[in-house]
Structure 1
Amino acid sequence: MTESTTPAPASAEEITAFAKSRRRSLLGALFLMATSAIGPGFITQTATFTAQLGAAFAFGILASVLIDLAVQLNIWRMVTVTGKRASVLANEALRGSGYVLAVLIVLGGLVFNIGNIAGAGLGLNTLFGLDPKIGGVISAAIAIAIFLVKRAGVVIDRVVIVAGLAMIVLTVIVAIISQPPLGDAFRQTVWPDEINFATITTIVGGTVGGYITYAGAHKLLDSGTAGAEHIREVNRAALNGILVTGVMRYVLFLAILGVVASGVVLDTTGNPGAQAFQAAAGETGLRIFGAVFWIAAITSVIGAAYTSVSFLPVFSAKIAGRAADYWTVGFIIVSLAVYLSIGTAPATLLVFVGGLNGLILPIGLTLFMYIGWFRPRVLGGYRYPKWLLIIGTIAAVVTWYMAVNAVGPIFALVTG
């Protein structure tokens, strides 16, 4: 088991500074995961599926939160207990599997980031009327600037915390204005009139699929939070992160449901989220949506780039420190270049990337359940809770079932 590289504090001042840094790092990991899970893809997916399914979509959100819980509690614990990144841990358990996982996460993260930059462009288009591709360039430049700052880790922590809180407050305002049918929404959260596997797989992929699963855990490692002694902190950060994302997902759903229930028909091929916010609160609502969408997108660009590159050291130990920041910048540039060259409508792309990463999710989750059940020595002698393995295994079976049933409809989004 690797030890934390954070130096032990000596003086009272150093102890205070260390405690503040640790709290900020935990909050940063929490909000990095949360803002990654509530990106532009999720917002577009929520608007699209609420327009199609109405209140029945509430069940999909509940399913995503429960699967999120099973996935994050298991993977965050395994990664932080061992102090090893997910790909390294996978390689030690099953030779070569870490490389496969890294390739899947990086490719899925690249597709996700193309969608995130598209979302950032849509956000600035809604806010200021900019061409979405120009907005994408501006947003990518801002994300790159953040990674080029010398203390990039500290900046990322602060940016995602402030941005995440702003996004929640703005969405709550619109949810209150739209006056959704709460009774119907609550009933269909647990007893839906319709269950659509492609929808659930897409929303799960957009909130916990691909790189999102590992975002917070790898951020904790980089901040020195590793080892079994930090389990309580890690669990608290994971649970609070899931609570934040769950509340935000449901509030966003309610905001859009109020509009749909009032009889407004959303054009799901355009920018359905913007239409919903505008219908709820007029021009002010439209601007609020632009701000929420851009915040969600820029923080997701940061999260996708950071986490995807965090898998690359399994191929070369030289991809660390400032070198990793430069690789992250390159990752963003490649994502931007692909976005500028493709003709797929941003809204369609944002729905597709969630579905694709929903197909990747069960592969990584199954690998970690294999470690927990059959390769416990890889965890350094840590006595792993069986109840966590049980709920993780159930989540793996459910996500495999959904992926098999959803693969056709998901790829139909971009093939015609």
Structure 2
Amino acid sequence: MTEQTIQKGTVQPMATESPATAGHPRRFWRTLALIGPAFVAGAWQFGPGNLASAVQAGSAYQYTLIWVIIVSTILMIFLTDMSVRLGIQSPVSLISSIKKRLGAAAGMVAGIGVFLITLCFSVGNAVGAGLGLSLLVPGTAPVMWSLICTLFVASILFIKSTYAVVEKILVVMIAVMAICFVVSAFVSGADWAQAALSLVPSVPSGAWILVIALVGTNFSINAAFYASYATKERKRTAEEYRTVTLVDTIPGIVAPGIMTILVIVVAAAVLGQTGSPLDSFAGLAKVFEPLAGPVGGFIFALGFCGSALSSMIPNAIAGGTMLSDAFGRGASAGTVTARVTSGCVLAFGVMVTLLFQGSPVQLIILAQALTVLVAPILAILIVFMANDRGLMGCLRNKWWQNVFGIIGVVSVCALSIRLLINFFV
């Protein structure tokens, strides 16, 4: 029977939604609201270290290292998924859960481990921001801009309203660069058949440091680790897990992986004829010349600077938050300990930039490679905690999730050993 209501003395039918359409707009917006933690992790990956390493890979080895990005992206999805489930199921922060189950020392190791990785990333961010702005303002010193950018980021960490505005500007800058990479991939004359053949794993002579740097940026264990904090902050539930996986975890990690592959493809097509690595930022900026001529360098510098600043902010926040949590000072970025530590992360990046000015591109790549020395510890902790039956319940790892988790752990362990061999042998 049609519901009725009396208006102005007459009986009129009340409008009702049909079962087929009722709630659809609300469901759409609720689903959209689930997007977040994995996209934050993905955006954190797609920083100056990622760009510099990918352009270097394409220019020096053409399409050969595309397989590294594909494998790294797949493993990153599984580790991030474990971290998201931990964020959903754990009643407290991940480090606090680690302390409860494995002891305070394990929690301290996790917090300090993430902090050390953020220190490495801070170097690439500081160098990248300085290089980008120095090309946008010819005749200026990159180091000066690195210092200015660091002070700028330090100030906006304390002013949330300013951060919201700056974040939108940075997203636009990165989006312009991303569009240029997509278009360049099709107008630069890329050899797609050769790119397809690169899916067969191989490591050219002398490419190990670059491979490790690519893994360090694309299989970013600290970003995966931090996803649990972002998930808990968003108050995700077990009922939302499947939808979160489809709309956030998978696309949030796959998107930067695809962009990185496109960067390698464009660099291989435009710069790969030389067969030698690029040591200058001006060389990297030539990647857009076939698309936009002299303006191409400006577009690349703009996007490169945007990626550095957008990565600098969450990197500092994560480092500060994790160390604060490890020392029992709170799992929030708003604690005094977290803010002071975030400042230390930024200060370290600019300090190393000031001390080592010889080859900035190589400095970025080396800093990214060093992250794999700590990554195995974090990966082991994520996999172990995701298998805790008492904590995880129905969201505990399945056997096939453990297979990929173990492959990820073994991979970063092997790369850590390889990096040490490269340094000392």
TM-score (norm 2): 0.82
- Structure 1 residue 334 and structure 2 residue 355: aligned? no
Shift of 1:220: 2.8
Matched AA of 1:33 = A
Show CA shifts across 1:22-54 (max 9, x none): 845x44434322221111011111122223322
The equivalent of 2:66 in structure 1 is 58
The equivalent of 1:112 in structure 2 is 121
Matched AA of 1:268 = L
2:329 is aligned, of 307, 317, 341, to 317
The equivalent of 1:249 in structure 2 is 260
Gaps of 5+ in 1: 1-15
1:94 is aligned, of 102, 119, 131, to 102
Matched AA of 2:228 = A
Q: How many residues align?
A: 393
Shift of 1:123: 0.9
**Rg bigger for which structure?**
2
Shift of 1:234: 3.2
Paired with 1:201 and 1:193, the residues of 2 have a C-alpha distance of 11
**Closer, same or farther in 2 for the Cα pair 1:330/1:215, shift >3 Å?**
same
The equivalent of 2:159 in structure 1 is 149
Q: Which range is displaced more, 344-353 or 251-260?
A: 344-353
Paired with 1:219 and 1:159, the residues of 2 have a C-alpha distance of 22
Paired with 1:322 and 1:197, the residues of 2 have a C-alpha distance of 39
SS at match of 2:199: helix
After superposition, where does 1:17-416 map in structure 2 within 5 Å?
23=32, 26-95=34-103, 96-129=105-138, 130-151=140-161, 158=168, 161-190=171-200, 192=202, 194=204, 197-222=208-233, 224-236=234-246, 237-261=248-272, 263-264=273-274, 267-271=277-281, 272-278=283-289, 281-311=292-322, 312-318=324-330, 320=332, 322-323=334-335, 326-327=339-340, 330-344=343-357, 345-373=359-387, 375-379=388-392, 382-409=395-422, 411=423
Paired with 2:174 and 2:353, the residues of 1 have a C-alpha distance of 27
Shift of 1:286: 0.6
**Closer, same or farther in 2 for the Cα pair 1:78/1:47, shift >3 Å?**
same
Paired with 1:208 and 1:113, the residues of 2 have a C-alpha distance of 17
Show CA shifts across 1:99-131 (max 9, x none): 101111101201211221111101111222231
Paired with 1:135 and 1:122, the residues of 2 have a C-alpha distance of 8
Show CA shifts across 1:354-388 (max 9, x none): 11112222221112222234x32233674443321
TM-score (norm 1): 0.83
**Closer, same or farther in 2 for the Cα pair 1:17/1:120, shift >3 Å?**
farther
Does the Cα contact within 8 Å between 2:130 and 2:142 map onto a contact in 1?
A: yes
Q: Which range is displaced more, 268-277 or 121-130?
A: 268-277
Matched AA of 2:42 = A
Shift of 1:333: 4.2
SS at match of 2:332: coil
Gaps of 5+ in 2: 1-24
Does the Cα contact within 8 Å between 2:117 and 2:222 map onto a contact in 1?
A: yes
Does the Cα contact within 8 Å between 2:35 and 2:244 map onto a contact in 1?
A: no
Does the Cα contact within 8 Å between 1:123 and 1:290 map onto a contact in 2?
A: yes
SS at match of 1:304: helix
Paired with 1:377 and 1:197, the residues of 2 have a C-alpha distance of 41
SS at match of 1:56: coil
SS at match of 1:317: coil
Does the Cα contact within 8 Å between 1:28 and 1:157 map onto a contact in 2?
A: no
Shift of 1:89: 2.6
Does the Cα contact within 8 Å between 1:27 and 1:161 map onto a contact in 2?
A: no
Paired with 1:241 and 1:198, the residues of 2 have a C-alpha distance of 26
Matched AA of 2:332 = A
**Closer, same or farther in 2 for the Cα pair 1:178/1:328, shift >3 Å?**
farther
**Closer, same or farther in 2 for the Cα pair 1:18/1:153, shift >3 Å?**
farther
Matched AA of 1:246 = G
Paired with 1:157 and 1:232, the residues of 2 have a C-alpha distance of 29
Matched AA of 2:391 = V
Does the Cα contact within 8 Å between 2:41 and 2:226 map onto a contact in 1?
A: yes
Matched AA of 2:236 = A
Shift of 1:98: 1.4
SS at match of 1:349: helix
Q: Which range is displaced more, 100-109 or 65-74?
A: 65-74
Shift of 1:230: 3.0
Paired with 2:421 and 2:304, the residues of 1 have a C-alpha distance of 28
Does the Cα contact within 8 Å between 2:133 and 2:142 map onto a contact in 1?
A: yes
SS at match of 1:330: helix
Paired with 1:242 and 1:298, the residues of 2 have a C-alpha distance of 20
> Per residue, is there more helix in 1 or in 2?
1
The equivalent of 2:5 in structure 1 is none
Shift of 1:221: 2.4
Shift of 1:164: 4.6
Does the Cα contact within 8 Å between 2:182 and 2:262 map onto a contact in 1?
A: yes
Instruction: Give % identity.
Output: 19
Show CA shifts across 1:198-239 (max 9, x none): 4332211122335322344322322x3333233124323110
Q: Which range is displaced more, 312-321 or 298-307?
A: 312-321
